[in-house]
Structure 1
Amino acid sequence: MTPEEPRPGDLTPGRPLLFRDATVLSMDPAIGLLDRGDVLVRGELIEQVGRGLRAPDDAAVVDCAGGLLMPGMVDTHRHMWQTALRGLGADWTLAQYFVFYYLNWGKIFRPEDIHAGNLLSGIEALDAGVTTTVDWSHGLQTPEHGDAAVEALREVPGRYVLAYGNLLGAPWEWAASAEFRSFADRHFASRDDDMLGLQLAFDVTGDAAFPEKAAFEAARELGLPVTTHAGVWGATDDRSIRLMWDHGFMTPDVTYVHSATLSEDSYHRIAASGGTVSVSAESEHNAGQGYPPTWRLRRHGIPVSLSMDTSVWFSADLFSAMRATLSADRTREHMEAHAAGETVVHHRLRARDVVEWATIGGARVLGLDDRIGSLTPGKKADLVLVKNDRDPAMHPVLHPYGHVVYQAGRADVHTVLVNGTVVKYAHELTGTAAGGLERARTAVAATVEYARATMGEDAWREAVEPEIPTAEPLPNPYTYSEYRGEGVAVRRGEA
C-alpha cells in the first residue's frame, strides 16, 4: 500500500469512494470496456463510470493502476452448509456423495453445523469476489436448521438468496407445511430485501404421480422462485422435465441446475418457458452429472449462470468456475470438429462470455439485474478490484476478459464492495467479515470433531479414501420417495 492510498480505517460507510485508473469491465453494453477508467461510489450506489472523474472533496481514492475493476460475481448454486467438511469428498463420485449425505450421514448435521458451514462459506465467497450467493441449502431438516442458516447469512456482509430445501424430507410435505410458512413469515416478511431473498430448492424424481406438484403449488402461492437439480445422470432426467411441463410448472422463475444429460426436447421446453440454467462445470466434470452443457444451452439461447456447487468436493471460487466452463465448451467444440475430420479455426465461446455469465448473467437468473451485475450508474455498488502487484501472473494485462478467466485467481482479489460497503481491502477482509473468520474457524472445527466422532473412525476413513467401487446398484437417494425408476437407479462406479 503506497502512502497516498487510503487505509482501511479511512473507508468508512457513506464516504464517497473513487476507483481511479482501472481497466473497467463494466459488463454494461452502453459503457463497455474502459482503459484507465474510473468508478465513483457514493453510499450504496454507483454514481458515475467514466474517465477522468473528479473526486469529491471528501472521497477516498483507490489507485487501481494495473488492476481490473469488475462487478461482484454471482454464484447461483452453492451448498454452503457443506463447507464445514471442505475437501472431504475430493475422490467421491456422485453416487458416493448420495450415500454420504442422502443415505448415511446427512441426518447427523445439527442447526449449529449448518450455521458453521454457512458462516465460513459466506466469508470465503466474499474473499474470492463473489458478492451474491444462492445458498442451495438442502440440509434444513427442521425450521431450526433454517433459522441457523439465516442467522449465519445475516452475520456475513454479503448478498444472499436462501434456497430452502431438505434432502431427507418430501418436498410436497415440508414446502406446504405450516412450519415452513411460519419460517418464511419470520425471516422473509419483506420480499423486497435484495440482501437476503428466498427460493424453494427441491428435485423432481420422475415419478409419474408427480408428488412434487404440491411443492410447486406452495412456491406459486408464496411467490417464490424454484431451483431444481435437473439433467443429473442417474438422478433426474427428461421425465422430470415433462412432468413439470405437463402440469404447467415450467416458468421463467425456475432455475435448472446442471441440466447436463437432457434431450433436445427438454432443452426446447426450458427455452420456450423462459427458464434458466446454473452450470457447475468443475462439479459436472468430476462428479458425473454429465458433460457441462453450455455448448447445448447456447444453441437454444437459454440464459446461463455459473456456480461452484459444493466445497466438500471442489474449489469455492468463480475464477475456477469460469476457467472450467470455458475449457469444457471449447473441448467439446474441438472434439466434434475432429470427429467430422475438421479443424476449429474460430472459437464460438469467448472469455468475455463466461465473465458475463459470472456477473450480469447470474444477476439475470435471480431477477436482480436491475440492481446488480454490471458497473452501471444507479445500480448497487457490488464490485471487485482484481489487482496484485506481487503476483507475476498479473503483469501484463493485455486481454482483460481472458486475464480474469485464465490468469487471475482468488489471491488477486484486492478490494470487494457489497452494497457500497468495503468488505475486503488491500487483500485483507475488513469489518464484520474479518471478525467473523475466527468465529467460523472455531465453529467449523467443532462440527468436524462432532461429525468424526459420530461417524466413527472407520466411516470417516472410508469417506476420505473411498474404495474403488463395484457396479452394485445404489438405492434411490431420495429416501422420502419409494419411486425407483431408471431416473434414480444410480449404479456406483458406472459412467
Structure 2
Amino acid sequence: MLLLKNAHVVPGDGAPELLATDVLVRDGEIAAVAPNLAAPGAEVIDATGQVLIPGFVDTHRHVWQAPLRGIGPDLTLPGYFEVVLGRALSAYRPEDTHLAVRLGAAEALDAGITTVLDWNNTSHAEAVADAYQSLGMRAVIASDQPRADLTGTLSAALAILGPEYGPADEAEALLRRARDLGILVTMHIGGGRTPSAVSRMDEAGLLGPGVHLVHLNSVTADEAKLLADTGAGVTVTPLVEELMGHGVSAYGRLADAGCRPALGVDVVVNSVPDLFEVMRATLRAERTRAVPSASAPMLPAARMLEAATVDGARALGLSDRIGTIAVGKRADLVLLEGLTHLAGSADCAGAAVTSLRPSDVDTVIVDGRVVKRSGRLVDVDLAALRASAADLGRRALGAPAAR
C-alpha cells in the first residue's frame, strides 16, 4: 500500500480541487481520497505543500526518435521524411530500438508523463515492449502489426497511414479490421494545408469511438462537428505543427465543435519531450485566437491540464482507468513542487500549466509504483542513458561516433 498525505489534490475533469487531502493506493488502484486517512503498514509519502495531479497522457509520440533530439530545428515535413524516416530509421537494430525507446520513455516519465501512445515506426516489437516494461510505464504501442499478447500497463493499437498518405481502400480495410479486433486505430490526418479526409471517412462510416486522428490542421468547422458527433478521438501537437509548417493548430476549431482534443509531443527532433510547453503553446494560441468578452471569457489555464490528462485518456479509450484522481482508477499520479505558497488556497491546476516545468515534477507513480522520487527517477540514471544513446543518434544519421 501507498499513502500520500496532506496533498493539494487536483482530481481533474472539472472536479473541485481538494485541500490537505490524502490518497490511498492499494494494489495499483486508488482506494480512497479523503483527509486524515489511516493505513497501517502503508508506505507514506508526505505531500505537504505539493500539488497532486493525474499523470500526463501524451497521445502521440514517435518515441524511438529520442536519440535524435534537436537534430532538425529547420526540418520541413519532406525533410523529416528524408532524414528521419528515410535515413535514421533504417539504421536501427533491435538493440538500438530498445535503447531509444527506453530513453524516450525515461524522459517522458521524468516530465510526469505516465502514459504515452507510441506511434512506432520500427519493426522491433519485442524490443519496444521490453523497454516499456523495464521502466514500468503505461504505453499504448501503435504499429502496423499490433501484438495481441500485451498485458498490464501495455496495450496495442493499429497505426495506419490513413487515406491521405496511402490508398483509400487500404485504409478503409484496416479501419474495419481494427474495429473487428476491438482495438484503437490511429492515423495522421489533415496535417497540412490541403483538405482533410474526415468527410470521406464519415461517408464511409469509418468515424467513431476507437478511431484516433492526429493533427487535423486543415479540418473545417463542419468536419470538426462530425468528429464530435461520432465520438472519434482527436489529438493536436501544436509545437511540431507550427515548427514544421503544418498550419495553425486545430485545437480551437475542434473544441468549438464539442470535441475534447488531447495533446501530443509528436517528435523531439525539433521539440521538447514534455507536455508543459505543449500546454502553454496551446493556451497562448487560444487566448490570441479570440478577444475575450463577457459572453466569451478567456479560456481558463486549467483547461489545458485536462487536455493533457483526462482528455488524453478519453482519446485513447482509457478514461475508465486513468486520467483523473478518483476511487477505482489506476494510480497514475504526479506530485508537483513549486507551488507551495499556493497549495491549499488557489487555482493550482491553472498555475501548474502557466508556471511549472519538468524540473518541478517531484514524484511520479504509475499503476501504484513509484518511478520517480524526490526529483530523481528510481530505476534509471537518465544522464547515463542519454550518454549511452548519443552514439546511436550519430550513427543513425551517418555521423562518426564520438571519440
TM-score (norm 1): 0.75
**Residue type of the partner of 1:107?**
S
**Residue type of the partner of 1:203?**
L
* Secondary structure of residue in 2 paired with 1:369: coil
Counterparts of 2:271 and 2:400, CA distance in 1:
24
Counterparts of 1:64 and 1:427, CA distance in 2:
13
**Residue type of the partner of 2:386?**
R
| Alignment match of 1:288 (pick from 245, 252, 258) | 245
Counterparts of 1:344 and 1:83, CA distance in 2:
44
Instruction: Give the length in aligned residue pairs.
Output: 398
What are the equivalent positions in structure 2 for 1:17-416 lying under 5 Å apart?
17-27=2-12, 32-53=16-37, 55-137=38-120, 139-140=121-122, 142=123, 145-165=124-144, 180=145, 184-185=147-148, 187-188=149-150, 193-206=151-164, 210-233=169-192, 237-238=195-196, 240-334=197-291, 347-388=297-338, 395-396=341-342, 398-416=346-364
* Secondary structure of residue in 2 paired with 1:367: coil
**Residue type of the partner of 1:370?**
D
Counterparts of 1:46 and 1:351, CA distance in 2:
26
Structure 2 unpaired stretches of 5+: none
* Secondary structure of residue in 1 paired with 2:287: helix
Counterparts of 1:379 and 1:271, CA distance in 2:
25
Does the CA-based 8 Å contact 1:88-1:313 persist in structure 2? yes
Counterparts of 1:17 and 1:208, CA distance in 2:
51
Counterparts of 1:68 and 1:205, CA distance in 2:
43
Change (3 A) 1:147 1:237: farther
**Equivalence for 1:417:** 365
Q: Which moves more between the two structures, 241-250 or 324-333?
A: 241-250
Does the CA-based 8 Å contact 1:282-1:321 persist in structure 2? yes
Q: CA RMSD in A?
A: 2.4
**Residue type of the partner of 1:446?**
D
Does the CA-based 8 Å contact 2:233-2:314 persist in structure 1? no
Give aligned-pair identity as a percent.
37
Counterparts of 1:110 and 1:217, CA distance in 2:
32
**Residue type of the partner of 1:254?**
V
Counterparts of 1:402 and 1:209, CA distance in 2:
42
* Secondary structure of residue in 2 paired with 1:84: helix
Counterparts of 2:372 and 2:57, CA distance in 1:
17
Counterparts of 2:241 and 2:168, CA distance in 1:
29
**Equivalence for 2:374:** 426
Structure 1 unpaired stretches of 5+: 1-15, 166-179, 338-342, 458-495
1:279 CA drift (Å): 1.4
Counterparts of 1:221 and 1:147, CA distance in 2:
24
Does the CA-based 8 Å contact 2:362-2:374 persist in structure 1? yes
Higher helix residue share: 1
Counterparts of 1:232 and 1:394, CA distance in 2:
40
**Residue type of the partner of 2:18?**
L
Change (3 A) 1:102 1:120: closer
Change (3 A) 1:403 1:253: same
Q: Which of the pair has more CA radius of gyration?
A: 1
Does the CA-based 8 Å contact 1:164-1:199 persist in structure 2? yes
